[in-house]
Amino acid sequence: MEVLAVRVALYGPPSAGKTSVGRRLAARLGLAFVDTDALIAARTGLSVPALFERDGEAGFRRIEAEVCRQVAGADRQVVALGGGALLDAGTRLALERSAAVVCLQATCDDLLGRLDGTGSRPLLGGPDPRRDLVRLLEARRSHYESFAARIETSGRSIEESAAATAALVARRTLHVRTSACRQEIVLEYGALEGLDAALGDRGFREPHVLVTDENVASALASRLPAAPARIVIPPGEAQKTLASVERLCGQFAHAGLDRRGTLIVVGGGVVGDLAGFCAATFMRGVRWVNVPTTLLAMVDASVGGKTAVNLPGGKNLVGSFHAPTHVVSDPLTLATLPCDEWRSGLAEVIKHAVIADAALFASLEAAAAFGGLPQLAAAIEVKTRIVESDPFEEGERAVLNFGHTIGHALETASDYRLRHGEAVAIGMVGEARLAERIGLAHAGLADRIASVVGRHHLPTTYGGAANELRALMNVDKKKAGTKLRFALPEAIGRVVHGVDVDDGVLAEALATLSE
Ligand SMILES: NC(=O)c1ccc[n+]([C@@H]2O[C@H](COP(=O)([O-])OP(=O)(O)OC[C@H]3O[C@@H](n4cnc5c(N)ncnc54)[C@H](O)[C@@H]3O)[C@@H](O)[C@H]2O)c1
Ligand SMILES: [Zn+2]
């Protein structure tokens, strides 16, 4: 297994093993090791308890934040962070943009047993360390749980914890291999920074032209590859037009892009769909590389090769199958994604879990956070497998419509105030209810889905009227003949498509979605 070549930051409660596991991990990966407490002591000339004594917790945190931001910029290292260092949102963002942050955890008894009794932990320095620790863990429980990459160190030796951490942050490579398309999908912390070299290694030839949008250009700034021609478009769905295709292709010609060259597309599904369609048609097709920077683009739009722009009469009406042969998914790029965009992508992740991955669903049920490499890989892999079974969307790929038949009607009914992911979230609950009502799924399935949807802060109900939704579904472009056809779950991990549903049953299921 190859491992990443950038940074890992270990976090977690006091005595979780950040220093000891960090040292071992650094040795394993051939990286330097730094401990922020030691850096703070070196900078101030005071031990952590003495600094607490002198400046109070607030004073300590200020210095800790400065030190953390400084280490966030350094290369090839493992950093052990203080147990409260990432309570500050700005520090957390700085670290999550630059390092694979892994939260170590352990049982309360193990944490207590590992305290060295030297009084080096000021927040546990009272007469009853157990009580102090229980209180601290209680207060920070949801904070520690909000990190998607977590390692349990109880019951593991230091060596085993280091090995587990190394496995958690190691690069993964997935493939799509069909007669129509070949994609290599690399999932790796920090991959964007290594993109120039990776493209050279894989024989992507110059000229390179980079397309991105304004938000991504400002969020990722210096991390973008050094293509001589960089085209930055405004953000948003409104860009997916034929006029944009004409403009972009003109810019490609001006930049000297030809059939030997490579288009590098960095951004969400909008930039991917638009620039991907340009790649399909410019000079009858050029190779393109996609760096998806939204969760939705990572788990969905970058896989399978569909590219398209919109017409005034409908979405994605002009398009083609032209896959990026190389996809580079770097989780560090997701740190700047606005919350709403993150949740929108998460709805598609939940959809993938329901369609084909019961283990992924169980992990979403159990965890408050999503986003570790194994989970991302699992969510992407669902799509790669479906694409392989149906490269041209002639059958099986219709299972990906789960939640979308009701979801599209909800988007329209809400006049697009509901985001796509929010509408799909409610749609999945409604369609699961439908599956129960027609006897396809056992009772309780829809509640399980609703509970995961709610746990990840997505809506499960909608304020409007059921009959209005029903009317909108008649004009859904996916209707087949006069009957709507649904992709419905039989169980978690199993979905069937092409299901006809009686009108009355549909009306009942839709009625359950109204608040
Ligand atoms: N081709 C396919 O198979 C496929 C599948 C699903 C969806 N799509 C298409 O994808 C599009 C939606 O994609 P999306 O949800 O990624 O939307 P998007 O591309 O509009 O991105 C969402 C917003 O996040 C910003 N952004 C992107 N990455 C960022 C980052 N790392 N930090 C900060 N801001 C960032 C963007 O500028 C934009 O404002 C739709 O047009 C849809 O039709 C295509
Ligand atoms: Zn969708």
Residue 74: is it exposed, middle or buried by C-beta count within 10 angstroms (0-12/13-18/19+)? middle
- At residue 94, what are phi and psi to the nearest 5 degrees? -60, -45
Instruction: Give the per-residue pLDDT at 468.
Output: 85
Write down the catalytic residue from 284, 417, 477, 515.
284
The model's pTM is 0.94
Instruction: Give the per-residue pLDDT at 26.
Output: 96
Phi-psi region of 393 (alpha: psi -120 to 50; beta: other; left: phi over 0): left
Distance CA 467, CA 511 (A): 8
Is residue 310 within 8 Å of 317, Cβ to Cβ? yes
Instruction: Give the per-residue pLDDT at 48.
Output: 86
Instruction: Give the per-residue pLDDT at 62.
Output: 95
Task: Measure 420 CA to ligand 2 centroid, in angstroms.
Answer: 6
pLDDT per position as a tens digit, 333-357: 999 999 999 999 999 999 999 999 9
Instruction: Give the per-residue pLDDT at 342.
Output: 95
Write down the catalytic residue from 393, 396, 490, 508.
393
Is residue 29 within 8 Å of 166, Cβ to Cβ? yes
pLDDT-flagged residues of the chain (< 70): 1-6, 116-120, 125, 475-482
What pairs with residue 500 in β-bridges?
A: 485
What lines the ligand 1 site, CB under 6 Å?
Answer: 213, 215-216, 219, 235-237, 240, 267-271, 273, 293-294, 296-297, 300-301, 304, 306, 316, 333-334, 336-337, 341, 344
pLDDT per position as a tens digit, 141-168: 999 999 999 999 999 999 999 999 999 9
What pairs with residue 210 in β-bridges?
A: 230, 264
326 is catalytic: no
352 is catalytic: no
Which of 59, 47, 323, 281 lies closest to 185 in space, CA to CA?
Answer: 323
348 is catalytic: yes
Residue 339: is it exposed, middle or buried by C-beta count within 10 angstroms (0-12/13-18/19+)? exposed
Which of 106, 101, 136, 132 lies closest to 119 in space, CA to CA?
Answer: 132
Q: Tell the residue nearest (CA) to atom 21 of ligand 1.
A: 268
Task: Measure 217 CA to ligand 2 centroid, in angstroms.
Answer: 25
Distance CA 457, CA 83 (A): 26
Q: Looking at ligand 1, which atom is closest to the CA of residue 306? A: 1
Write down the catalytic residue from 61, 92, 351, 408.
408
397 is catalytic: yes
385 is catalytic: no
The ligand with the least distance to the CA atom of 411 is: 2
Phi-psi region of 211 (alpha: psi -120 to 50; beta: other; left: phi over 0): beta
Q: H or E element: which one contains 320? A: strand 314-321
The total of other beta-carbon atoms located within 10 Å of residue 140's CB is 16
Sheet with 229-233: strands ordered across: 172-177, 182-187, 326-329, 287-292, 262-267, 208-213, 229-233
Positive or negative torsion for Cα 257, 258, 264, 265: positive
